[in-house]
């Protein structure tokens, strides 16, 4: 998961911007932490399809949500192998099954069981895996970073040819996407091409695209866009698949894999379940109790709501609720023995996902909502920043559908019309300490140095008794006091 070392809490993928926490600006780390999730992926198909029922929403926002949900059609298949005398399978998903004859390596995530196994007696690999875990788990961040890898010493069998394929640990592979492993086809994937060039791996051409390469020959010297062209691509150097176009090849490969019991066509989603656990005091309590005998037990309805202590002061050393015996200690609702209350709280986006339903019946004390919500909803006109496109706006759509399925509301979508207002822009200067929060400075708090031509050459922060060089300039829109969240751009 994504860990913010300043707030000392988990962040959802949507809350990591350019590898940093959305609130603190701290560099995000990878950590393995038990969490609670909302099963938003169960609604992925409906969330995507229902975008077409929102004519009052900007196309840009709908496109952002569609891309974030990310429906992909492809083939999930396995590379067989034997480990410690036991038959195993390394599963991967690809949208380019037509290139399967060009596989020259497989790469697994640092958290993959094969990586863990291979690192047991390999200190260098173990150190590399630890390095891989220090960074974002966001797909966009990983796409721009330097691609690194290390061989595991394990080989798998190509599912169609039986050829041995080397398995690597790659810092660019996400454990949370698919099965945490990818096939490497260097000749027809730009990422794989550069990876293979760095590590001296074979790059065999298996797709030709005479319609888009303008007669340019396939070359190992530099990547060319036509190498990845599937619209005009035709299989070459691929045995029985030679001459097949993209979909013909995908169908044929999928059928052959299925006949071997090694794969089939499948739909994959980019969307991940919403991790709502936050290791902090401020947030809605998660109404669960941990019992040594009964396990995790829900708080009974007659004991709701769980109320946070009002005099709890965060001290910067983790979740202060863990130090409050008056909150922690309780009895198990099932067996009556001593137990401990859950101290993780919910992501605050949980609260903002359904507040509009309470506006219709704010005085209702015995239920989340009542019949008045059915009269007033959906919201006729919503005004908010586009920065919420894949956060609040997506979560609200999901939450509305959950409430509908629970019989609490009758609508499918929360907001009939959406207006994303513009931004008030200005320069703002910042400094990045080695650890901790980014420090921002207004233009009135800095001195700007220029050369004889008026070109800016440096900026220093103005302060009592000292000056300090700043690290850059961003733009922002303001302000939180007027219903618009701060956003540094």
Segment 351-371, tens digit of pLDDT? 999 999 999 999 999 899 999
Element holding 340 (H helix, E strand): strand 338-341
Residues facing 90 on adjacent strands: 79
The four Cα atoms 80, 83, 86, 89 give a dihedral, to 10 degrees, of -30
pLDDT computed for residue 423 by the predictor: 64
Bigger pLDDT: 484 vs 153: 153
Q: Is 380 exposed, middle or buried (0-12, 13-18, 19+ CB in 10 A)?
A: exposed
Match 């990591």 to its residue by tokens. 16
Cβ atoms of 52 and 46 within 8 Å: the answer is no
CA dist., res. 361 & res. 375, Å (int): 10
Does 143 have pLDDT greater than 70?
A: no
Bigger pLDDT: 291 vs 137: 291
CA dist., res. 46 & res. 49, Å (int): 5
Q: Which ranges in 28-97 belong to alpha helices (H)? A: 44-49, 59-69
Cβ atoms of 282 and 290 within 8 Å: the answer is no
Find out if CATH 3.30.1330.40 is the number for domain 71-115+146-269.
no
Single out the residue of 179, 177, 154, 176 nearest to residue 165, CA to CA. 154
Residues 6+ apart with CB under 8 A from 28: 2, 3, 4, 11, 16, 19, 20, 21, 135, 136, 138
3-state secondary structure of 124: helix
3-state secondary structure of 179: coil
CA dist., res. 142 & res. 171, Å (int): 8
478: pLDDT confidence band, cut at 50, 70 and 90?
very low
3-state secondary structure of 366: coil
Q: Which two tokens stand for residue 460?
A: 């220093």
CA dist., res. 307 & res. 285, Å (int): 7
Mean pLDDT for 66-70 is: 95
Q: Per 3-state DSSP, what percentage of the chain is helix, strand, and coil (rounded to 5)?
A: 30, 30, 45
319: pLDDT confidence band, cut at 50, 70 and 90?
confident
333: pLDDT confidence band, cut at 50, 70 and 90?
very high
Helices (H) and strands (E) in the chain, counts: 12, 31
Bigger pLDDT: 190 vs 143: 190
317: pLDDT confidence band, cut at 50, 70 and 90?
low
Match 């895996």 to its residue by tokens. 129
Cβ atoms of 267 and 278 within 8 Å: the answer is no
pLDDT computed for residue 174 by the predictor: 87
In 171-294, where do the E strands start and end? 181-184, 207-208, 234-235, 263-269, 274-275, 277-278, 288-291
pLDDT computed for residue 33 by the predictor: 82
Could you report the per-residue pLDDT of 100-116, keeping only the tens digit for each?
Answer: 999 999 999 999 999 99
Mean pLDDT for 387-403 is: 95
Could you report the per-residue pLDDT of 122-141, keeping only the tens digit for each?
Answer: 999 999 998 887 765 556 55
Could you report the per-residue pLDDT of 195-246, keeping only the tens digit for each?
Answer: 999 999 999 999 998 777 766 789 999 999 999 999 899 999 999 999 999 9
Domain boundaries, the chain: 71-115+146-269, 426-488
3-state secondary structure of 368: coil
161: pLDDT confidence band, cut at 50, 70 and 90?
very high
Q: Which two tokens stand for residue 385?
A: 């920043």
Find out if CATH 2.30.31 is the number for domain 426-488.
no
pLDDT computed for residue 482 by the predictor: 33
Please give, one letter per residue, the 3-state secondary structure of 458-485.
EEEEEECCEEEECCEEEEEECCHHHCCC
pLDDT computed for residue 103 by the predictor: 99
Q: Which of 158-167, 211-220, 417-426, 461-470 reaches the highest mean pLDDT?
A: 158-167
Does 264 have pLDDT greater than 60?
A: yes
């Amino acid at each position: 998961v994504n860990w913010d070392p300043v707030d000392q809490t988990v962040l959802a993928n949507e809350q990591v911007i350019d590898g940093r926490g959305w609130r603190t600006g701290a560099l995000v780390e990878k950590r393995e932490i038990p969490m609670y999730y909302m099963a938003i992926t169960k609604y992925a198909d409906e969330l995507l399809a229902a975008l077409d029922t929102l004519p009052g929403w900007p196309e840009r926002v709908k496109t952002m949500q569609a891309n974030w949900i990310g429906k992909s059609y492809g083939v999930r298949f396995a590379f067989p192998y034997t480990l410690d005398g036991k038959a195993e399978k390394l599963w991967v998903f690809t949208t380019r099954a037509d290139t399967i004859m060009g596989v020259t390596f497989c790469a697994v995530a640092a958290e993959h069981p094969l990586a863990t196994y291979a690192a047991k007696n390999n200190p260098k690999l173990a150190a590399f895996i630890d390095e891989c875990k220090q960074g974002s788990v966001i797909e966009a961040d990983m796409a721009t970073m330097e691609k690194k890898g290390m061989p595991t010493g394990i080989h798998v069998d190509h599912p169609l040819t039986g050829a041995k394929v080397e398995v690597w640990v790659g810092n660019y592979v996400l454990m949370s996407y698919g099965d945490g492993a990818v096939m490497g086809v260097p000749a027809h994937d730009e990422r794989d091409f550069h990876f293979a060039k760095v590590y001296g791996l074979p790059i065999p051409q298996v797709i030709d695209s005479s319609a888009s390469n303008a007669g340019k020959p396939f070359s190992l010297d530099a990547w060319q866009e036509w190498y990845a062209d599937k619209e005009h691509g035709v299989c070459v150097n691929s045995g029985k698949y030679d001459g097949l176009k993209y979909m013909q090849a995908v169908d044929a490969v999928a059928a052959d894999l299925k006949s071997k019991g090694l794969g089939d066509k499948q739909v994959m989603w980019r969307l991940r379940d919403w991790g709502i656990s936050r290791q902090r005091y401020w947030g809605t309590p998660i109404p669960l109790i941990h019992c040594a005998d009964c396990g995790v037990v829900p708080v009974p309805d007659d004991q709701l709501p769980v109320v946070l202590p009002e005099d709890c002061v965060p001290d910067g050393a983790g979740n202060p609720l863990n130090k409050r015996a008056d909150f922690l200690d309780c009895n198990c609702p099932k067996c009556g023995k001593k137990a401990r209350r859950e101290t993780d709280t919910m992501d605050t986006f949980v609260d903002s996902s359904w507040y509009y339903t309470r506006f219709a019946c704010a005085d209702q004390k015995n239920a989340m909502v009542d019949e008045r919500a059915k009269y007033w909803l959906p919201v006729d006109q919503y005004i908010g920043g586009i920065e919420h496109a894949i956060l609040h706006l997506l979560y609200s759509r999901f939450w509305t559908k959950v409430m509908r399925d629970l019989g609490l509301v009758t609508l499918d979508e929360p907001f009939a019309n959406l207006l994303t207002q513009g931004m008030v822009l200005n320069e703002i200067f910042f400094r990045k300490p080695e650890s901790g929060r980014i420090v921002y400075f207004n233009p009135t708090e800095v001195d700007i140095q220029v050369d004889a031509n008026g070109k800016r050459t440096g900026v220093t922060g103005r302060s009592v008794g000292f000056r300090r060089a700043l690290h850059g300039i961003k733009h922002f829109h303001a302000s939180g006091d007027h219903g618009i969240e701060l956003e540094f751009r």
